[in-house]
C-alpha cells in the first residue's frame, strides 16, 4: 500500500496569532505573529479553515489542498467554548440555536440553526492570555456552540447579537478531531485527516 504523500497537523493556535503561515505582503508585518514560528511545516502546508487573531484553539493544517476545500464545503461540525460577558439566558440560547441575523461584508446574514448549551461548569482549558483582562468584566458565563458553517467572526457576532459579547473563544473540536490537552502553540502531526 502506498504511503500517504500528504502531511497533516493539529495545533493549538494561541491568542494573537494569525491563521496563516506567513505574510502575503512583500514586506513582513513586524507586529503580527504567524503559524510558521510554531513549527517547520512542509512546503505547501495550509490551514483548514481559520480562527481570527483574537480566538484560540484547534486549527488543522494539511498539504492536501483538495481535502482543505472539501472540509470547508462539507458542513463539518466545529465546536467552540465561548466565555461571555454576562450570564446568558435561556432565551438567548434558544435564539442562538434558531439562528440570528448578523452583519457580513456590509450585508445582513441569517446564521443556520446550531447546537448551543450553557456550560454549568467552567471548562478545563489553558489559562487565559493576560491581555484579555477577563477579571475586569462583570459576571460571565460559558457556552458550547457547534456550527456547520464558519463565517468571518461568526460566533462573536452571534453572541453579540443576543446581548452577550464574547470575551474568550476557544475552538475545541472539528469533526471527530479534538483539541484535547494541547498547550497553546503546540503542534501535533496526524497520520491522516478523516471526517
Write out the catalytic residue numbers: 52
Query: Which of 138, 143, 160 is CA-nearest to residue 86?
Result: 138
Q: Report whether 108 contacts 101 (CB < 8 A).
A: yes
H or E element, residue 110: strand 107-110
Instruction: Say how far apart CA 46 and CA 60 lie, in whole Å.
Output: 9
Q: Is 186 exposed, middle or buried (0-12, 13-18, 19+ CB in 10 A)?
A: middle
Tally Cβ neighbours within 10 Å of residue 45. Answer: 19
Q: What do you get for the CA distance between the two ends of the chain, in Å?
A: 21
Instruction: Say how far apart CA 171 and CA 154 lie, in whole Å.
Output: 12
Q: Which residues are registered as beta bridge partners of 174?
A: 78, 177
CB contact set of 98 (below 8 Å; sequence gap of 6+):
113
Amino acid at each position: 500500500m502506498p504511503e500517504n504523500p500528504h502531511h497533516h497537523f493539529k495545533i493549538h493556535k494561541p491568542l494573537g496569532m494569525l491563521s496563516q503561515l506567513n505574510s502575503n505582503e512583500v514586506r513582513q508585518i513586524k507586529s503580527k505573529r504567524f503559524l510558521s514560528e510554531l513549527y517547520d511545516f512542509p512546503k505547501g502546508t495550509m490551514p483548514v479553515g481559520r480562527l481570527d487573531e483574537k480566538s484560540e484553539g484547534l486549527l488543522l493544517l494539511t498539504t492536501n489542498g483538495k481535502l482543505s476545500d472539501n472540509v470547508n464545503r462539507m458542513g463539518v461540525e466545529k465546536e467552540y467554548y465561548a466565555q461571555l460577558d454576562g450570564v446568558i439566558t435561556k432565551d438567548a440560547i434558544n435564539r442562538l440555536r434558531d439562528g440570528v441575523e448578523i452583519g457580513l461584508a456590509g450585508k445582513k446574514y441569517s446564521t443556520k440553526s446550531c447546537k448551543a448549551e450553557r456550560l454549568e461548569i467552567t471548562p478545563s482549558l489553558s489559562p487565559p492570555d493576560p491581555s484579555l483582562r477577563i477579571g475586569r468584566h462583570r459576571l460571565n458565563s460559558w457556552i458550547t456552540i457547534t456550527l456547520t458553517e464558519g463565517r468571518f467572526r461568526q460566533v462573536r457576532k452571534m453572541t453579540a447579537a443576543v446581548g452577550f459579547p464574547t470575551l474568550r473563544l476557544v475552538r475545541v473540536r472539528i469533526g471527530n478531531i479534538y483539541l484535547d490537552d494541547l498547550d497553546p502553540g503546540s503542534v501535533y502531526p496526524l497520520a491522516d485527516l478523516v471526517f
